[in-house]
Amino acid sequence: MEKEKFNIVVFSGDLDKVLAAFILATTAASMNMEVNMFFTFWGLNVLRKKKLTSGKNLLQKMMNFMNKGGADRLPLSKFNMLGIGPAMMKIMMKQAKVPSIEEFIKLAKSLGVKLIACTTTFNFMGFQKDDFIEGIDYFAGAATFLQLAREGRISYFL
């Protein structure tokens, strides 16, 4: 019998939304579902290394200067409070024994969750493959995600 498929588009780069995506992904994977997480736009920051990327032109360089990558640098969607909000959230997560985003990435990978980085967004933002962490299963465009969604039972957009 074929596994049920669960697909998540991770559009947001906000800590709380990314946390929700990983909670759903790891729960679905632990329920023996095939899980694909498609990271696009600001969601790509989750998979980016903590380094400044240069970009190919002035606009890309400006955008990448302001838009620093790294799963530990994500803001909150509400109550960011100049960075105090995410710090408070991380303390609360630790107290509640909720994994960090970096830990969730490792957990997701150990459960067989596929991490996919959107090539369309990747290209126009001026990223290179070496700007990203290890463990990305593949780089693909929207057509690949739509095919996965067509085959899947559940699709979720964050």
Q: What CATH number is associated with residue 69?
A: 3.40.1260.10
Total domains, the chain: 1
What pLDDT is stored for residue 58 in this prediction?
Answer: 83
DSSP, res 100: P
Average pLDDT over residues 142-158: 93
| First CA to last CA distance, the chain | 29
Inform me whether the pLDDT recorded for 53 exceeds 70: no
Provide DSSP, 38-94: EE-GGGGGGTB-SS----SSHHHHHHHHHS---GGGPPPSS--GGGHHHHHHHHHHH
State pTM to two decimals.
Answer: 0.92
Q: Which domain range does residue 27 map to?
A: 5-157
CA 141 to each of CA 17, 18, 25, 38, 145: distance values in angstroms, whole numbers, following the listed order: 22, 20, 20, 9, 7
* Average confidence score pLDDT of the chain: 91
What contacts 31, CB < 8 A, 6 or more positions away?
none
